[in-house]
């Protein structure tokens, strides 16, 4: 039997796996039962363009006319009116692409840190190897100015960063990239993808000795692995901090910008809010405003994630040891498309869902209950039915609608995976091949 949260707002991931835009909140109460602490907010991490007194820096983001950057919150609203944080550290599913085949990043031989031990990483060597590949990004435009971070991913001058780092200052914003050696270059936008909060910018006339990062594998991570974050927090370029992987596949949703209001997209549409959903790497490495778009690397100096958001409290808008990074497998998959096409395709399942639970024997399982199934969609072709409760994708647990969205978004168009569903009190496994979302869906 499936038990729906009848007072829960249905998650509108309808047919294209998108959650409904969230209202802007100053705080998001995460119930302790969901593994959180009351009073969290989740926010992007751009910082003001110039240093400010500490009291003004708290929670500061990329400034726009009349408002600060949107405060990000977890997505699924409970009946109590709070927000839901995923509770369980999960094993990673099969990657959509492999780092080795991505074509991005330096050869491993470029990075001298290849055999670091997890028990005693040589952070000095890691910092020395990776810092030249991490840049500071300054953005200035009619609608605001700010700073963020980025990662050099090839020797052609392409830098991977967050969409919210480059998009908040308006259509004609000027970009500058400062390398670790202190040299500053102008840059242009190669492409943005608001739905994953990723962007690629291109350094104009990059130096010949540009050092791309060595790309690792986020699917090989385990909870407890040591990591280093490198970026430009509060304008302090080249800052490194260390910590561990605190959780994997953490479903996190932040308020972002829809494709229609992306200042680098062709044409103009009405301004609207979109929800960025990521099955994120959670880390304890301290990251702060300005770290957005920077590198999260493993003990061998290889890129495993792009830092994108942090959790804060009303009493502390800086780092509290809960940061989130976009896994490198997803980031490089999107980056390749942005470099080639200026935009990215996204996998399409074709369902609307809501948070619910079901019983199998004496156990109760949480998951995403299927509402609508689009005729002719991958979900329809696979035999999914209204009322099915999706509890796993590719063997990785699904605990909510947000979790399902994250699993779909991290997969490539045309990839196949197995969904585990509960139907009439029994588990079933369904093979589905994700297609490309188009304007008709």
pLDDT, one tens digit for every residue, the chain (441 residues):
555 443 333 333 333 333 323 222 222 233 333 334 444 444 555 555 543 333 333 222 333 322 222 222 222 221 222 222 222 222 233 333 444 445 777 654 444 555 556 778 999 999 999 999 999 999 998 878 889 999 999 999 999 999 999 987 667 789 999 999 999 999 999 999 998 999 999 999 999 999 999 999 988 899 999 999 999 998 888 999 999 999 998 888 876 554 443 333 333 233 334 678 888 999 999 998 899 999 999 999 999 999 998 887 777 667 788 999 999 999 999 999 999 999 999 888 999 999 999 888 888 889 999 999 999 999 999 999 999 999 999 988 998 898 899 899 889 898 999 999 999 889 999 999 998 876 444
Task: Determine which helix (DSSP H) or strand (DSSP E) holds 327, and give its type and residue range.
Answer: strand 323-327
**pLDDT at position 296:** 97
Give the N- to C-terminal CA distance of the chain in Å, as an integer. Answer: 31
Q: Are 310 and 323 in contact (CB under 8 A)?
A: yes
pLDDT of residue 231: 94
What is the C-alpha separation between 11 and 276, in angstroms, rounded? 13
Active site residues: 164, 197, 292
Q: Which pTM value belongs to this model?
A: 0.74
The dihedral sign for the CA sequence 284, 288, 293, 298: negative
DSSP string over 222-258: -TT-EEEEEE-GGG-TTEEEEEEEEEEEEEEEEEEE-
Over residues 113-127, the pLDDT tens digits come to 555 567 789 999 999
């Amino acid at each position: 039997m499936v038990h729906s949260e009848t007072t829960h707002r249905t998650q509108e991931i309808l047919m294209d796996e998108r959650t409904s835009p969230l209202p802007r909140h100053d705080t998001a109460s995460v119930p302790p039962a969901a593994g959180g602490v009351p009073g969290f907010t989740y926010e992007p991490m751009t910082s003001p363009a110039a240093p400010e007194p500490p009291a003004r820096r708290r929670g500061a983001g990329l400034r726009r006319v009349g408002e600060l950057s949107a405060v990000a919150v977890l997505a699924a609203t409970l009946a109590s009116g709070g927000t839901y944080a995923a509770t369980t550290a999960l094993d990673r599913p099969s990657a959509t692409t492999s780092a080795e085949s991505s074509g991005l990043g330096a050869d491993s031989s470029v990075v001298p840190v290849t055999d670091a031990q997890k028990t005693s990483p040589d952070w000095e060597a890691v910092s020395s190897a990776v810092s030249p590949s991490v840049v500071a990004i300054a953005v200035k435009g009619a609608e605001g100015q700010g700073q963020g971070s980025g990662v050099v991913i090839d020797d052609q001058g392409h830098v991977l960063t967050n969409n919210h780092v480059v998009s908040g200052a308006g259509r004609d914003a000027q970009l500058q990239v400062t390398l670790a050696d202190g040299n500053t270059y102008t840059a242009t936008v190669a492409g943005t993808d608001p739905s994953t909060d990723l962007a690629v910018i291109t350094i104009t006339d990059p130096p010949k000795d540009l050092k791309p990062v060595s790309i690792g594998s986020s699917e090989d991570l385990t909870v407890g692995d040591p990591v280093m974050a490198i970026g430009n927090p509060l304008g302090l370029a080249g800052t490194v901090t260390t910590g561990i992987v605190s959780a994997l596949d953490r479903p996190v949703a932040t308020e972002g910008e829809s494709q229609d209001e992306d200042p680098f997209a062709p044409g103009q549409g009405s301004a609207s809010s979109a929800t960025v959903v990521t099955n994120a790497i959670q880390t304890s490495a301290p990251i702060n405003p300005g770290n957005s778009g920077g590198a999260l690397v493993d003990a061998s100096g290889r890129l495993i994630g792009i830092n994108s958001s942090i959790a804060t409290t009303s009493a502390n808008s800086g780092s509290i040891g809960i940061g989130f990074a976009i896994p490198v497998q997803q980031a490089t998959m999107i980056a390749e498309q942005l470099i080639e096409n200026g935009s990215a395709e996204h996998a399409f399942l074709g369902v609307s869902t809501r948070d619910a639970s079901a019983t199998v024997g004496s156990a109760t399982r949480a998951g995403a209950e299927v509402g609508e199934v689009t005729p002719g969609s991958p979900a329809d072709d696979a035999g999914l039915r209204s009322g099915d409760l999706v509890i796993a994708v590719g063997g990785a647990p699904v605990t909510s609608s947000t979790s399902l969205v994250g699993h779909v978004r991290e997969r490539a168009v045309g990839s196949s995976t197995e969904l585990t569903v509960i139907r009439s009190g029994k588990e079933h496994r369904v093979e589905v091949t994700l297609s490309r979302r188009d304007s008709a869906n």
